[in-house]
Amino acid sequence: MQELHQRQEAVLRSLSDLSRRVYTLRSNLKKHTGKDPFDNDRKRKRGGNGGQKKGKNQAFSYTKPNKQSCETVVDFLARKFTYHTAQRWAELVSGGAVDVNGVTATGETVLKQNDLVEYHRNQADEPEVDRTFDIVHEDANILVVTKSGNIPVSEGGRYFKNTLVHVLRDHMTTRSASSTVTDSAAEELSAAHRLDKETSGLVVLGKNEPTLRFLGTAFANDNVRKEYTAVLQGEFKDVVVCKAPLLPLFQSSQAPANYSKLFPEMYKIRMCIDNQKGKQSHTEFEPVFSINGLTLCRVRLYSGRTHQIRVHACHIGHPVLGDKLYGKTDEEFLALTRGEVEPEFPPWGVVKRHLLHCSEMEFPLPGGERKVTKSSFFPQLGCIPGLSALVSAVGRPPSP
């Protein structure tokens, strides 16, 4: 087994070295010719099944919703990406912001199966984010950072460049430009797991494809120990274990009648408890301190379902403070997403984000060892009005 781990480590070192050599060659060619030798290859890569592509613009391979479908590019964009209205998509198409197969589209452009739709997106159109981060661990293959509670990890929806991955790629590129050592990992850097936009804390990223596959397998097989810190509504003193099985609402029969028509946004993203078809899920809530109707908790995950902590916290009667999706009614959530009201959580006032933080993670390294990383939640708490009593009462992060 030790010999196998040594071979894996040697392969990763070789691939990393090769990647650096290619990056150096590419940079020199670009410097002397003014052209990127890989640009043409990148433009030819298309993929399928509606997948989103990496690159300067957002690109999608079109898949018909049914055989009889006859959608214009505006119809497709308005159906697929609801963060703009159909009228706004029509304005963007008319303004030349969308191409189909490399040709500027018009409002009358009808899409065919596997057409490549490209959206030339202006970064100024994206919502503002908190781009601050702290590097917790870095080696030749892996980067671990602490992110803020107002930035998505990867592109999706209305976010393309205002993402943690894009910010870190820019950081690595800038760092490389000011150093004598080139950093070829910037373009390959990707997250090995999910973390919600409003969840702060630790994120593990891979710098090359072999490492990403290795880490992805570890996360998929629950071979990663994760501990979160959360502020929950209500006070309790004993450890609470929740094993309610989880399933996306759109796959479940639990959704109320006409829910998909009344609340299409929530129908797509909500998770729910489904005792018949749900996937096994296991969360442990350990109270650390309670005051003013709130409880600071250590939360241990023994499975990795989407929104698992948030759904289980709501299920046990103690939703995460600031959780707009699971701690508010559907009508209130819609009003919040439309900017019609402030995210108020009486009696604690306005809470801009849900108070959930990935504070500790232990994961395997390609060489066979395991790495433990930690991040304090308390700097995050200090930014939330009305929580000064909780911060001062506890005084310091929970001891490990």
Measured from the Cβ of residue 2, the count of other Cβ atoms closer than 10 Å reads 8
Question: 227 burial class (0-12, 13-18, 19+ CB within 10 angstroms)?
Answer: buried
Q: Which two tokens stand for residue 398?
A: 């929970």
Question: 145 burial class (0-12, 13-18, 19+ CB within 10 angstroms)?
Answer: buried
- 330 belongs to the catalytic site: no
Among 99, 183, 196, 323, the active-site one is 196
Angle of the 86-94 helix axis to the 73-80 helix axis, nearest 10: 130
Measure the N-to-C terminal CA separation of the chain; round to a whole number of Å: 31
Which amino acid appears at position 392 of this protein?
Answer: S
Q: Which among 354, 376, 341 is positioned nearest to 136, based on CA atoms?
A: 376
Annotated catalytic residues are 196
